[in-house]
């Protein structure tokens, strides 16, 4: 894989963007510059070599990472991403964003992230398992239920988490349910975890619409990305009566301004592996979807989808970030000037880590909740965080992103100050 192929979705250095966001928030909210200096660095970063025996007898060596940004408020928490374009700085940025996300939601976690530079779709089931088990073995001293708890991210799923759980447990000699979240129900997963990120996005959109005196049946939504989050969100929105007018995957977009049949789209994707040629839709590019006229645009794929280049052409009334880092700071300024409301990633897509927290708690207690309890607790936490962010936005006359980051950074800074420096 060439360096060009490996970085196609990243137009700017994501860690530099994350640090710039932190610097701006520090200035806006009067956070001590020394604390901002501490928080702008990652606590620990591990790079590992992951040799894997391939099905054809070759041994291929992959690059893997695990980064911990901060553990001031509790053990680190963050997903594991398998993607061919993954970079070290991307993992560091994602770890930092996880710190703010957990703090904003009031969870007793710091931020971490990890991943392997690979194309999971091109690996066989057995190759994926060997890759996961070797990667887990390489980072086994870095993770643990009271140290750093991984979860699924782009390119990984419940099965990958089950392999991590099993590999770790076999090494320590007993089952450790709390070492990883996003597991299958059969091995200590939580009901409601699979659709938790999408459900959190739904709650944010619903609350924002209520602020404007609107409701779902009057709303046209375009979703960029049809992975676990995009697919579940489309289903939930359709159930609420919203009109899903556009969907996309890595092959392109499909559009119907009168509304796409979401259950049919899910079946079509499962049968054909793509949304292309979905009956009753017109084909378009991912770039055209982002610029489509709609009430709510939901970027639910990778970073840096909305940039200073395309932000002037966006026709959405509201943007809800189901992906991490889909909007660059340059685009943020343009969208703010244009009066487009942006619900930031650390608020909008935090449903996944909230229910991961629930799963971690259930695993430690070995006592499991009912799905209605999980969804009700998730709604309470997300809506409370939304209201706190909305209030800070009004109080400081700033954007939702700055308000959300401001609340989170202040919470981590306070905990850092209270704990002090050791030694």
* Residue partners of 257: CB distance under 8 A and separation at least 6: 220, 245
Q: How is residue 51 written in tokens?
A: 């040799």
- C-beta separation of 67 from 50 below 8 A: no
Comparing CA positions, the residue from 381, 401, 397, 379 lying closest to residue 389 is 401
Q: Which residue has the tokens 């676990």?
A: 228
- What string of DSSP letters covers 235-262? HHHHHHT-EEEEEEETTEEEE-TT---H
Q: How is residue 44 written in tokens?
A: 């620990």
- What string of DSSP letters covers 380-408? HHHHHHHHHHHHHHHHHT--HHHHHHHHH
Q: How far apart are CA 364 and CA 274, in angstroms?
A: 39
Comparing CA positions, the residue from 78, 404, 222, 185 lying closest to residue 233 is 222
Comparing CA positions, the residue from 288, 240, 227, 238 lying closest to residue 261 is 238
Q: How far apart are CA 176 and CA 36, in angstroms?
A: 35
Q: How far apart are CA 368 and CA 92, in angstroms?
A: 33
Q: Give kind and range of the element (H or E) at residue 234.
A: helix 228-240
Q: Find the catalytic residue in 77, 92, 101, 113.
A: 113
Q: How is residue 406 written in tokens?
A: 């401001």
Q: How far apart are CA 300 and CA 145, in angstroms?
A: 28
Q: Look at strands 252-255 and 282-284 and give their pairing.
A: antiparallel
Q: SS3 breakdown of the chain: % helix, strand, coil, rounded to 5? A: 50, 20, 30
Does the annotation mark 183 as catalytic?
Answer: no
Return the active site residues.
113
């Amino acid at each position: 894989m060439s360096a060009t192929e490996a970085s196609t979705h990243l137009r700017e250095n994501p860690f530099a963007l994350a640090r710039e966001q932190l610097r701006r928030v520090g200035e806006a909210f009067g956070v001590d510059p020394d604390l901002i200096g501490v928080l702008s660095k990652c606590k620990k970063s591990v790079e590992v070599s992951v040799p894997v025996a391939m099905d054809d007898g070759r041994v291929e060596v992959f690059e893997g990472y695990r980064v911990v940004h901060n553990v001031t408020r509790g053990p680190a928490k963050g997903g594991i991403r398998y993607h061919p374009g993954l970079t070290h700085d991307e993992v560091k940025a994602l770890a930092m964003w996880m710190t703010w996300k957990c703090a904003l939601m009031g969870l007793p976690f710091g931020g971490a992230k990890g991943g392997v530079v690979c194309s999971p779709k091109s690996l066989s089931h057995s190759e994926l398992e060997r890759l996961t088990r070797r990667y887990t073995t390489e980072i086994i001293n870095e993770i643990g239920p009271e140290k750093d708890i991984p979860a699924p991210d782009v390119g990984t799923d419940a099965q990958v988490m089950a392999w991590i759980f099993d590999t770790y447990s076999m090494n320590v000699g007993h089952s450790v349910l709390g070492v990883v979240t996003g597991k299958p129900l059969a091995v200590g997963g939580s009901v409601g975890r699979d659709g938790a990120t999408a459900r959190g996005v739904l709650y944010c959109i619903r609350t924002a619409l209520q602020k404007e005196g609107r409701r779902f049946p009057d709303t046209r939504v375009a979703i960029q990305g049809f992975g676990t989050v995009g697919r579940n969100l489309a289903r939930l929105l359709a159930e609420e009566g919203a009109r899903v007018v556009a969907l996309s995957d890595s092959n392109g977009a499909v559009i119907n301004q009168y509304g796409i049949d979401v259950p049919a789209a899910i079946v079509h994707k499962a049968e054909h592996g793509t949304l292309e040629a979905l009956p009753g839709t017109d084909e378009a590019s991912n770039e055209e979807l982002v610029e489509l006229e709609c009430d709510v645009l939901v970027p639910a794929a990778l970073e840096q989808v909305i940039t200073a280049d395309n932000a002037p052409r966006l026709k959405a009334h509201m943007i809800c970030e189901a992906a991490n880092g889909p909007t660059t700071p340059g685009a943020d300024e343009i969208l703010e000037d244009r009066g487009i409301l942006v619900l930031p990633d650390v608020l909008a897509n935090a449903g996944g880590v909230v229910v991961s927290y629930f799963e971690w708690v259930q695993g430690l207690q070995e006592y499991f909740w009912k799905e209605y309890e999980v969804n009700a607790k998730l709604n309470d936490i997300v809506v409370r965080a939304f209201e706190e962010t909305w209030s800070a936005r009004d109080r400081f006359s700033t954007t939702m992103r700055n308000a959300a980051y401001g609340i989170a950074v202040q919470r981590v800074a306070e905990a850092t100050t209270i704990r002090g420096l050791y030694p």
